[in-house]
Amino acid sequence: VKIHVEPNESGKGYEFVNALVGGAIPKEYVPAIDAGIQGAM
C-alpha cells in the first residue's frame, strides 16, 4: 500500500482520491482507509 500526501489548494481542505486498481484491496475497506488517514492527520 502506498499513500501519497501533498498540499491541497488553500481553503480546499482534505481530499481523498481512491487510486486502487485491479481489486488489490476490497472496495469495502476504502472508507475505513480514508477514515484512518484522516484520524492520523
Name the nearest CA neighbour of 30 among 41, 39, 17. 17
**Domain boundaries defined on the chain:** 1-41
pTM to 2 decimal places? 0.75
Helix (H) or strand (E) holding 33: helix 30-40
Asked if residues 3 and 37 have their Cβ atoms less than 8 Å apart, the reply is yes
Q: What is the pLDDT along the chain (41 residues), one digit of tens a residue?
A: 788 999 999 999 999 999 988 888 999 999 999 999 999 98
Note the pLDDT of residue 2.
83
Q: Can you state the percent helix, strand and coil of the chain, rounding each to 5?
A: 35, 0, 65
1: nearest Cα among 31, 21, 28: 21
